[in-house]
Amino acid sequence: MDELFEKLILMEKLDAAREQSARGDVVSEAELDSEIKKGSNYLSKSVRFSN
């Protein structure tokens, strides 16, 4: 299960980076990590409820 979350987090990072580069934004690693944490917290809660 942890491996799945790691892959999802990497996918989120890539998506966020693509979106920001498309807009021409320069964003720090910390900002990306913060957005990813929000997404992974949401995912872990929904997985917990679906079990």
> Tens digits of per-residue pLDDT, 1-51?
688 888 888 888 888 877 877 777 666 777 777 777 776 666 666 555 554
Name the one residue in this structure whose structure tokens are 């997985």: 47
Q: What is the pLDDT of residue 51?
A: 46
Is-contact 36 13, C-beta < 8 A?
Answer: yes
* Spatial distance between the Cα atoms of 43 and 6, rounded to a whole number of angstroms: 12
Q: What is the pLDDT of residue 26?
A: 66
* Spatial distance between the Cα atoms of 2 and 27, rounded to a whole number of angstroms: 27
Q: What is the pLDDT of residue 15?
A: 84
For 22-34, letters b (16+ CB in 10 Å) and e give eeeeeeeeeeeee
